[in-house]
Amino acid sequence: MNDLHNPDLSVVVPVFQEVENIKLLYDEIRSALEQAELDFEIVIVDDGSTDGTIEELHDIATDPRVKLVLFRRNYGQTAAMNAGINNASGQYIVTMDGDLQNDPRDIPMMIEKLEEGYDLVHGWRKNRQDKFISRKLPSKLANWLISRSTGFPIHDLGCTLKAMRREIAQELELYGEMHRFIPILADQLGARAVEVVTHHRARQFGATKYGIGRTFRVILDLITVRYMQKYFSSPMKLFGMIGIWIGMLAIGSVLLTTIMKIGWGTDMTGNPMLLLGILCAVLSVQFFSLGLIGEVAARIYYSQHDRQNYRVRKRVNFDQTYPRLKMFPREAA
């Protein structure tokens, strides 16, 4: 990365098998941002392409504003997004897909929103140009479910086109399929977010790399996000409460078994209520143990690298020194 000059804007583009799209995308980004007179760099992360995309990337990298991060193999879109953010140097960071469906001409409008005081601007593909059954319907259902379960109002969580401030981007912890939850993760950090309508175009070349099968992975990550929203800093509030309710059920089952023995002479040995009481007692202890382990894990997490369970928006009368962004870790040879 260039230490002598940091651009105002970094455009992060994860790509995988986009040999027909990459030069056209570069031309569109360059044209849109030069017309808007923005000082920019383009950080393209290749996620292990084998179709000639890398050769095309080297051709456009004759432009010094194009920075390349090439993975040794396919790690997934979230890892590519994380690598791009970690290797970006702009004050503002924009993420977008490499398939030409996002329109780079929306970027100046999103930057203007950031300059109004927002920390993150996420796109809404209101007039989405995709197949209804395989893409639009699952997306609508997923967005409804995520919005209801997290309490975060959003129409289109799957839109990759986003603009954010550097300080927010560098605090995001992206793994698994978490890139699609960036607005929610940023909201947890105290970011001011706004959703704007953006253009969306039909795919011209190649085929989508993501099908309906990813829905199950999204649901699992949604559970993770919901847990992190409410219980990450204090897991005992979740597991301890479950343990209390199951413990009360265990006590009730044992009391009922005792009443049945004293009142009606029911055999305790084969009584299913006694077995239920024993099972619930064991489960109660296990949930309390999970809560304690979670509490210890949370303390370890926050004790490392000076992590805190709060975020500071502004510092006054301090020396404003900012650490360099962490680089994407190299894979062991």
Indicate if 219 and 263 belong to the same structural domain. no
Asked whether the beta carbons of 78 and 179 are under 8 A apart, the reply is yes
140 three-class SS? helix
Instruction: Decide which of 204, 230, 256 is a domain's last residue.
Output: 230
* Dist CA 322 CA 325 (whole Å): 9
Indicate if 190 and 267 belong to the same structural domain. no
Indicate if 265 and 168 belong to the same structural domain. no
Number of domains observed in the structure of the chain: 2
Indicate if 167 and 38 belong to the same structural domain. yes
Indicate if 181 and 294 belong to the same structural domain. no
Indicate if 180 and 67 belong to the same structural domain. yes
pLDDT tens string, the chain, 333 residues long: the values are: 444 568 899 999 999 988 999 999 999 999 999 999 999 999 999 998 988 899 999 999 999 999 999 998 888 888 888 889 988 999 999 999 988 889 999 999 999 999 999 999 999 888 776 665 656 666 677 767 777 777 777 777 778 899 999 999 988 888 767 788 888 888 888 899 999 999 888 777 656 655 555 666 777 777 887 887 778 878 888 999 999 999 999 999 989 988 888 878 777 777 888 889 999 999 999 999 998 998 888 777 766 756 555 555 555 545 544 444 444 444 433
Q: How many CB atoms lie within 10 A of CB 98?
A: 25
| Owning domain of residue 175 | 9-230
Residue 21 lies in a domain: yes
pTM for the predicted model, two decimal places: 0.71
- Helical H segments across the chain, by residue range: 22-35, 53-60, 77-86, 107-115, 137-150, 166-169, 182-188, 215-230, 236-264, 272-303
* Dist CA 31 CA 287 (whole Å): 57
Residue 43 lies in a domain: yes
Indicate if 126 and 206 belong to the same structural domain. yes
Indicate if 167 and 19 belong to the same structural domain. yes
Indicate if 118 and 196 belong to the same structural domain. yes
CATH of the domain at 56: 3.90.550.10
Indicate if 207 and 225 belong to the same structural domain. yes
* Dist CA 317 CA 300 (whole Å): 31
| Strand partners of residue 93 | 10, 164
Residue 328 lies in a domain: no
Q: Tell the burial category of 42 from Cβ atoms under 10 Å away from its Cβ (0-12, 13-18, 19+).
A: buried
**DSSP per-residue codes, 150-196:** H----S-TT---EEEEHHHHTT----TTGGGGHHHHHHHTT--EEEE
Residue 292 lies in a domain: yes
Q: Tell the burial category of 214 from Cβ atoms under 10 Å away from its Cβ (0-12, 13-18, 19+).
A: middle
Instruction: Decide which of 174, 196, 230 is a domain's last residue.
Output: 230
Given this model, what pLDDT does residue 4 score? 54
Indicate if 79 and 20 belong to the same structural domain. yes
Distances (CA, A) of 139 to 122, 146, 174, 213, 271: 16, 10, 21, 12, 49
Instruction: Decide which of 207, 230, 253 is a domain's last residue.
Output: 230
Given this model, what pLDDT does residue 294 score? 86
Indicate if 38 and 126 belong to the same structural domain. yes
